[in-house]
Structure 1
Amino acid sequence: MSSDIPADLFARFGELGRESSTLTVMFHTRIAEQMGLSGTDHKCLDLAMRAEEPITAGRLAELSGLSTGAVTGVIDRLERRGFVRRVRDPYDRRKVLIEVSQEDPERFAHLFSGVVDTMRKVMEQFTLEELEVVERYQRALLDEMRSMLNVKPAAGD
């Protein structure tokens, strides 16, 4: 790997990253509003949904980078809206787990349908080899961002 990245290429990647970040935040803000949530609550719900089993508030704090106090507020709001519930750990009754409520999975699927189509449309413009390079870049960038933010990877990441 060369550390001699041309300044113009680095600047272009920086601009692309800023634009991608802005559009992603705006997209998820729009979805969160349609779900009746804040952006932070929506993304914490996503983290809880991606977990393979109910998780603790502490684990949600690790995954999100939020303080445990902030996560408690998030869980309170998600619970009031019916998205999650607090349950006792069956193996350690002192622990409280956050369980995603069993809702109709189609309830909000329409909010994401355009993204799936767009992703497929863009991916079809590249060869499999090119997509593997893009995936490697994305994974490396995500790893570095997690490290910078001191955020733990979610299951499967």
Structure 2
Amino acid sequence: MSGGHEGPEMEIFHLLRAVTVEYGLRQAEFAAEHGMHVTDVRALICLLDAERAGIDATAGFLGAGLGLNSAGTTGVVDRLERLGLVSRVRDVKDRRRVLLRVEDRAKELGWRHFGPLIDTAVTVLSGFDERETAAVRHFLRTTLDALRT
């Protein structure tokens, strides 16, 4: 589809863009409310995603996920640690390695701020049949893959 075409596909793309812009604004509000930078919020999201996926998150992992160099990553982790939102813990399997763990306090703050949005989205999606859910998942995954390449 070229740039001059408008149709239902472009309407959906524009809606997706509007959702991402609004979500970014909510992230910025959350960051400001808790003395963070928006990158700190992105870091928490990255670490929470790693936790859900069963991935041991190191500073190197986080830096790669955020596109930051070592010094930038250290700054983010230091800020989040000072705020009591992230801790550095020794890997029990390899004591030389330091892992990053999101503290319960961060999860509670996040849930208070983003919980109503999450609840609304889950409620809407729970009304979808299997085919509709698969279509939404496919669209979002392929769009995410396109953004990452």
State the TM bucket, normalised to the shorter chain: 0.7 to 0.9
Whether the 8 Å contact between 2:85 and 2:106 is mirrored in structure 1 is no
- Ranked by relative contact order (alpha carbons within 8 Å, sequence separation 6 or more), the top structure is 1
> What are the within-5 Å matches in structure 2 for residues 38-117 of structure 1?
38-51=37-50, 52=54, 54-103=56-105, 105-117=107-119
**What's the TM-score, normalizing by structure 1?**
0.74
Match of 2:125 in 1: 123
Q: Secondary structure in 2 aligned to 1:109? A: helix
- Judged with a 3 Å threshold, the aligned counterparts in structure 2 of structure 1 residues 55 and 120 are, in CA distance, closer, same or farther, namely closer
Equivalence for 1:150: none
Distance verdict in 2 for CA 1:119–1:133, change over 3 Å: same
| Structure with greater proportional helix content | 2
The amino acid that maps onto 1:27 is R
> d(CA) in 2 for partners of 1:70 and 1:104?
21
State the identity %. Answer: 32
Structure 1 counterpart SS, 2:76: helix
- What residue is the counterpart of 1:8 in the other structure? 6
**Conserved in 2, the CA contact under 8 Å of 1:54 and 1:100?**
no
Q: Distance in 2 between matches of 1:4 and 1:30?
A: 35
Q: Which moved more, 1:80-89 or 1:120-129?
A: 120-129
Which ranges in structure 1 are unaligned for 5 or more consecutive residues?
A: 148-157
- On the 8 A contact 1:85/1:101 being kept in 2, the answer is yes
CA distance in 2 between partners of 1:26 and 1:73 (Å): 23
- Are the structure 2 counterparts of residues 59 and 36 from structure 1 closer, same or farther at C-alpha, using a change threshold of 3 Å? same
How much is the aligned-residue C-alpha RMSD, in angstroms? 2.8
2: CA distance between counterparts of 1:104 and 1:95? 23
Runs of at least 5 residues in structure 2 that lack an aligned partner in the other structure: none
Q: How many residues align?
A: 145
Structure 1 Cα separation of the partners of residues 19 and 104 of structure 2: 32
Residue by residue, what CA displacement relative to the aligned partner does 1:95-146 show, whole Å, maximum 9, x if unpaired?
3222223448545422122112321343356443222111100011111212
8 Å contact from structure 1 (residues 85, 99) kept in 2: yes
**Structure 1 residue 67: deviation in Å?**
2.3
